[in-house]
């Protein structure tokens, strides 16, 4: 992961003398989870650097932080249980994009590429009670060696830029790395994401 971050930093430094534009981005994501029965909610924030390659074709390396969270609860008679999952990641996307001007101040871009992601933390808080009396415990899911931290995803999407300053984007990332180290299961993290950006 350090090598990937170093490569991204080197590309950004090289691009300072080229035709390039940086953007700060924030948004919403909805990833699946190895142990949760339904998709989690999530947020992300980061920066990328769009570097023109030729004509309307560009490449945009970046660095993003994301957090996802969600709770699964059940209740039977006087017995209640719940599990709250929280995960943090740092991701390094490398998206190739092709853009076209729709109007004087409106541009559309279609992008696709890999994302190299590393899990910083993954926890589960379990709560249980009987007739209102109970307790809770928290587990580090990465303490289980069967849950791998590193993954590679591929994805794509579409973005709209207004006046070369504001961006609205939507896309989907599909995990190609099996993060389940056991022989009995497979887990690949996938997620829909949408957000806004400020270009400078």
On the question of pLDDT at 14 being above 70, the answer is: no
Q: What is the pLDDT of residue 178?
A: 94
Rg for the chain, CA atoms, rounded: 20
Contact criterion met (CB below 8 Å) for 128 and 92: no
Q: What is the pLDDT of residue 34?
A: 86
The whole-chain average pLDDT of the chain stands at: 89
**Strand 191-199, strand 20-31: pairing:** antiparallel
**CATH classification for the domain delimited by 2-64+89-118+148-199, as one of 3.40.50, 2.40.160, 1.10.10, 1.10.8:** 2.40.160
Contact criterion met (CB below 8 Å) for 70 and 33: yes
What tens digit of pLDDT does each residue of 54-81 get?
999 999 999 999 999 998 877 777 778 8
Per-residue CA distances from 194 to 16, 41, 45, 59 (Å): 28, 12, 11, 19
Spans of all domains in the chain: 2-64+89-118+148-199
């Amino acid at each position: 992961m350090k090598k990937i971050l170093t490569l991204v930093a080197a590309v950004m430094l090289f691009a300072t003398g080229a035709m390039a534009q940086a953007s700060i981005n924030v948004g919403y994501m909805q990833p699946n989870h190895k142990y949760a029965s339904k998709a989690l909610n999530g947020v992300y924030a980061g920066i990328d650097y769009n570097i023109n390659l030729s004509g309307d074709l560009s490449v945009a390396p970046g660095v993003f932080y994301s957090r996802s969270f969600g709770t699964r609860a059940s209740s039977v008679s006087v017995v209640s249980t719940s599990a709250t999952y929280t995960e943090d990641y740092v991701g390094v996307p490398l998206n190739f994009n092709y853009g076209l001007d729709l109007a004087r101040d409106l541009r559309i871009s279609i992008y696709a590429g890999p994302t190299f992601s590393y899990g910083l933390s993954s926890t589960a808080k379990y709560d249980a009670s009987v007739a209102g009396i109970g307790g809770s415990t928290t587990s580090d899911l990465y303490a289980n060696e069967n849950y791998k931290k590193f993954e590679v995803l591929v994805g794509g999407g579409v973005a709209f830029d207004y006046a070369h300053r504001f961006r609205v984007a939507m896309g989907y990332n599909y995990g190609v790395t099996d993060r389940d180290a056991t022989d009995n299961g497979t887990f690949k993290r996938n997620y829909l994401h949408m957000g806004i950006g400020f270009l400078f």
